[in-house]
Amino acid sequence: MSEARESEAEPNSKLAVVIMAAGKGTRLKSRRPKVLHEIGGKPLLGHVIEAASQVLAPGNIYAVIGHQAEQVKAAVAATGIHFVEQAEQRRKTDLVSSRSLAERADLLARELVESLR
């Protein structure tokens, strides 16, 4: 989108984007984190961050990282987004089967708040 739209995005608005980027990507059979595989010369995570930045300021974008967290963080650190480290690696299907959507959203929100303290 246009630069004007990006500059209008204000940090600390009531809206945030959470990017789930903690997975191992075991089905890819690669040592590289799946979010760092490239398409068009840019990591997949970079494409998602760029799209989110069209709507919100980087200060309102959070990437949940886990597997090879430091490598993922280093690859997109210049974007200015926030990182939340997922200490326990869980499958998304575990969360889906054990909690309602509202409970999962509440859990993620609490983890985000704790990480910012």
Residue of 5, 27, 32, 91 marked active site: 27
Question: Residue 15: left if φ>0, alpha if ψ -120 to 50, beta else—which one?
Answer: beta
Q: Would residue 117 show up in a list of annotated catalytic residues for this protein?
A: no
The residues that are catalytic are: 27
